[in-house]
Amino acid sequence: MTTRHPRVTALAAAALVAAAGLAGCSGGAGGTGAGTGIGARQADAPGPDARPVDGGTIVYAHQQEPACVFGGWIEQAYLSTQVLDNLVSLDDDGTVVPWLAQSWSASDDGLTWTFDLRPGVEFTDGTPVDAEAVAFNVGYWLDGGNSTAQVWLAGYVESAEAVDDTTVSVHLSRPYPRFAETVAQGYFGIQSQHALETRTPQENCEAPIGSGAFVVGRWDRGESIHLTRNDDYASPAANDPNQGPAHVDAVDWRFVSDPTTRVDSLRAGEVDAVYDVPAVEWADLGAEGYDEQLYVTPGRPQQLAFNTAQGPFADERVRKAFAYAVDREPLVETIGQGVIPYEGNGGVSRATPGYSEEAAATYTHDLPRAERLLDEAGWSTVDDDGYRTKDGERLSVVLPYNSGTIVTADGASILQGIQQQVKAAGFELDLVPVPPSGFFGGAYSQPEERDIAAGYWTSVTAGILYVNWRVGTDDDPNFNNSAFWDDPELQSIIEQANSTADVAAQDALYEQAQVYIADHALSIGLYDRISTLAVSPRLVGVRQERSQGGPVFHDARFVD
């Protein structure tokens, strides 16, 4: 054999070709999108004479496919809101506006809510949207028909009944002045009673029958779900610019889980709108002419809750040390490319009414202070690897996180940054990405199994605090109390707030609760969850729904 090193040559050649193909266009030298990434090009903008037209099918790429349309997961809320109407909706500034209910009121003692429904609305199966159907839905939620709806209503709503054809009466055990805001969320979509009673749970889950702007058509699992226009749509919300049926014929709601592919298909013109734009693409897409909408969701932000029941974090000083050891803001700003907002508050996000700035500013990066606190707490010796020890035991903490769904890739990078930062103070942070199944199997749900929990929970009001901080009892455990905090003082502040009618007073109480959470370092915020949408200039009128984010296509039209 007289050839020299053919194999190596071949591999080297392959590498060179690949590199040449890529290097010539490698943009993005900095991280903030000043350069353009591979594949960037100007969006196909409509010409100057273009007019909005009716008809057509919107192709929309969403990131996560749920098991079925209606259920307790936010991904289901995004879908079900297309086909179901709620009693009320939210305006851009958070005001509650009429939808299926024309008006509503609470009794003086706050224990009875009365909703007046608009007459003449029908479900797509022909049955009327009347008080009886609505009351049935409330009972359905209370019985667990939607796990998230149930969690919101538990402890407050007892029953509902139809007073007459268009009047529903909801009975509460305790006052809840923000009840109307709460039922604006997608989990509280009204379904046809007839459908719920006569069809199987599977059918109702896959294709719920409502009175909404679209109807569930074909569902190609793993690929897309087809929503067709409800031509008889006559019940848009009061703040909806389009007061009739949808302009487009259908929505092809596709599932594309890889963020890069989603964005690139938008660029290629294969889809008209995408959800969950990765931070690194945000600037480019804007520059290329796409309409970008960013909505900071109210509710619990992406935060870290410490296990206060057992382990090193049972000691408040250790929790505070952790909070001082991390330098969250630059971390989030860099990895989030300036798109993801930093959030210091561990209770609620900045978009939530009653947000406490004081709670958000409680902990800033202060490494010496962190070290002092650890010394005080007894973790004063340092082992060879640089981690703190106490009585021979290393300061080792476990943070399992739900990778892929609850914590995105950006989030995972941020957590890795946290891991590095706390190492300087002597914490050994063990990150454990858990696939959804593990989480859903109850893995890491016990206090012995984890020291920190990460997660967010969208909500319209600060009432989410009750869901997250209610003390669990033996009869009525609260698996959503991820810090295992069992001091009733916090709960009583929140319960008081929940039942306070005056907005200012209520906000003050909620803020008090957040300050309490911060003072005791029960939970620290990382970043606010954002709901991002990027829309092609060919499509106008797409907006985001205000209770949880997520696209609304009812008013959308193509421009030609």
Partner 1 sequence: MTLASSTDPRQLSLPTPSGGAGGPAVPDRASSWPRLVRRVVRRLAGAAVVLWGAATVAFLAQVALPGDRATVIFNIRAGQPIERTPEELAAINAQYGLADPVVVQYWRYLTGLLRGDLGSSYQQFRPVTDVIGEQVGSTLTLTLAAIALAWVIMVAWVTLTAGRGPRVSALGAAVDTTVAGLPHYWLGIVLLLVFALRLGLVPVISGTSPLGLLLPALTLAIPLAGFMGQATRTEFETALQQPFVVTARLRGQSDLGVRLRHVLRHSALPAVTLSGWALGATISGAVVVESVFSRAGIGRVLVTAVNSQDLPIVTGVVVLIAALYVVANLVVDAVHVILDPRATTS
Partner 2 sequence: MSPTVPAPATSAAAGRAAASSPDTSGPEIAGPDTAAGRSVAPSTVLDREAGENSGGTVAGGPGTPSPGGPRRRFLSPRTTPPAGRRRPTRWGVVAASAAALFFAVALVWPAALSPRDPLALDLTAALQAPGLAHWFGTDEAGRDLFARVVWGTRDSLAIGFGATLVSMTTALVLGSLAALAPRWLAAAVDRLIEVLLAFPTLLLALLLVAVIGPSAVSSMIAVGIGTAPGYARMIRGQVLSVRRSGYVEAAVALGHPRRSVLARHVVPNAVRPLVAVVALSIGQSIVWASSLSFLGLGVAPPSSEWGALLEAGRTYVTHGWWLTVIPGLVIAALALTTTTLGKALQDSLERGER
Binding-site ranges for partner 1 (CB under 8 A):
1-3, 6-7, 9-11, 14, 18, 21-22, 25, 38-39, 41, 66-68, 71-76, 144, 147-148, 201-202, 205-206, 220-223, 256-258, 261, 264-265, 267-268, 270-271, 402, 404, 435-443, 445, 477, 479-480
By CB under 8 A, tell whether 29 contacts partner 2. yes
Query: CB of residue 388 vs partner 2: minimum separation in angstroms?
Result: 19
In whole angstroms, what is the distance from residue 558 CA to residue 540 CA?
Answer: 6
Q: Does 221 help bind partner 2 (rule: CB under 8 A)?
A: no
Please, which of residues 37-66 interact with partner 2 by CB under 8 A?
37-40
Residues in region 436-475 near partner 2 by CB under 8 A: 437-438
Closest CB to partner 2 among 222 and 241?
Answer: 222
Helix (H) or strand (E) holding 282: helix 279-287
Choice between 205 and 318, CB closer to partner 1: 205
DSSP at 472: P
Task: Please tell me the distance from the alpha carbon of residue 391 to that of residue 336, in angstroms, as a whole number.
Answer: 39
Which amino acid is located at 425 in the chain?
Answer: A
Least Cβ distance, residue 439 to partner 2 (angstroms): 11
CB of 235 to partner 1, least distance (A): 27
Nearest-10 Cα torsion for 406, 408, 410, 413: 80
Which does residue 447 bind out of partner 1, partner 2, none, counting CB within 5 to 8 angstroms by kind?
none
Residue 220: which H helix or E strand, with range?
strand 214-220
Q: Do 388 and 395 contact (CB within 8 A), yes or no?
A: yes
Q: Which residues pair with 172 in a beta bridge?
A: 157
CA-closest candidate to residue 36, choices 45, 27, 23, 44? 27
Whether the CB-CB separation of 149 and 141 falls below 8 Å is answered with: yes
Q: Is 396 in the site for partner 2 (CB under 8 A)?
A: no
At 250, which amino acid appears? Answer: A
| Per-residue binding letters, 473-502, with partner 2 (x by CB under 8 A) | ------------------------------
Query: Could you tell me the smallest distance in angstroms from the CB atom of residue 68 to partner 1?
Result: 6
CB of 445 to partner 2, least distance (A): 15
Residue 133 CB, nearest distance to partner 1 (Å)?
23
Question: Is the distance from CB of 551 to CB of 275 less than 8 angstroms?
Answer: yes
Q: What is the DSSP letter of 187?
A: G
Question: Quick one: 36 or 167, whose CB is closer to partner 1?
Answer: 36
If 0-12 CB within 10 Å is exposed, 13-18 middle and 19+ buried, where does residue 462 land?
Answer: buried
Residue 44 · residue 271 · CB < 8 Å: no
> Which of 217, 433, 447, 472 contacts partner 2 by CB under 8 A?
433
Which one of partner 1, partner 2, none is in contact with 416 (Cβ closer than 5 to 8 A by kind)? partner 2
Q: Which is nearer to partner 2, 250 or 422 (CB)?
A: 422
Identify the residue whose tokens are 């600060």.
462
* Least distance (Å) between residue 417 CB and partner 2: 6
Do 400 and 416 form a contact (C-beta atoms < 8 A)?
A: no
Instruction: Using CB atoms within 10 Å of the CB of residue 20, give its burial: 0 to 12 exposed, 13 to 18 middle, 19+ buried.
Output: exposed
Q: Which does 412 bind (CB under 5 to 8 A by kind): partner 2, partner 1, none?
A: partner 2
User: Do the beta carbons of residue 296 and residue 341 sit within 8 Å?
Assistant: yes
Which residues, 6 or more positions from 167, have their beta carbon under 8 angstroms from its beta carbon? 114, 115, 116, 117, 131
Query: Per CB under 8 A, does 294 bind partner 2?
Result: no
C-alpha 301/C-alpha 282 separation (Å) is: 21
Q: Residue count at the site for partner 2 (CB under 8 A)?
A: 54
Query: Contact at 8 Å (CB) between 547 and 90?
Result: yes
> 85 with 235: CB under 8 angstroms?
yes
Place of tokens 């909706």: 89
Q: Given candidates 244, 330, 442, 488, which one binds partner 2 under the rule CB under 8 A?
A: 330
Pairing of strands 396-402, 428-434: parallel
The conformation of residue 342, written as its DSSP 8-state character, comes to: B
30 binds, among partner 1, partner 2, none (CB under 5 to 8 A by kind): partner 2
Distances in Å between the alpha carbon of 196 and those of 141, 200, 228, 482?
12, 8, 21, 33
Instruction: For the segment 225-264, give every residue that binds partner 2 (CB under 8 A).
Output: 258-260, 263-264
Please, which residue, 26 or 310, has the CB nearer to partner 1? 26
Residues in region 262-291 near partner 2 by CB under 8 A: 263-264, 278, 280-281
Contact of residue 72 among partner 1, partner 2, none (CB under 5-8 Å per partner type): partner 1
Q: Which of 220, 197, 205, 190 is nearest to 73 (CA)?
A: 205
Other Cβ atoms less than 10 A from the Cβ of 245: the count is 17
CA atoms of 458 and 546, how far apart (whole Å):
11
Positions in 399-418 near partner 2 (CB under 8 A)? 403-404, 409-410, 412-413, 416-417
- Residue in 173, 420, 446, 492 binding partner 2, rule: CB under 8 A: 420
Per partner kind, with CB cut-offs from 5 to 8 A, the member of partner 1, partner 2, none near residue 280 is partner 2
Q: Where are the alpha helices (DSSP H) in 352-463?
A: 357-360, 367-376, 409-423, 436-440
Q: Which does 182 bind (CB under 5 to 8 A by kind): partner 1, partner 2, none?
A: none
Q: Which stretch binds partner 2 (CB under 8 A): 180-188, 216-224, 232-240, 425-433?
A: 425-433
Residue 436 interacting entry, from partner 2, partner 1, none, C-beta within 5 to 8 Å by type: partner 1
Taking CB under 8 A as the rule, does residue 335 contact partner 2?
yes
Q: Which two tokens stand for residue 431?
A: 């990150």
Per CB under 8 A, which region of 52-60, 168-176, 328-336, 357-365 contacts partner 2? 328-336
- Smaller CB separation from partner 2, 30 or 48: 30
Is residue 6 a contact residue for partner 2 (CB under 8 A)? Answer: yes
> Which parts of this chain interact with partner 2 (CB under 8 A)?
1, 3-8, 11, 15, 18-19, 22-23, 26-31, 33, 35, 37-40, 258-260, 263-264, 278, 280-281, 330-331, 334-335, 403-404, 409-410, 412-413, 416-417, 419-421, 431-433, 435, 437-438
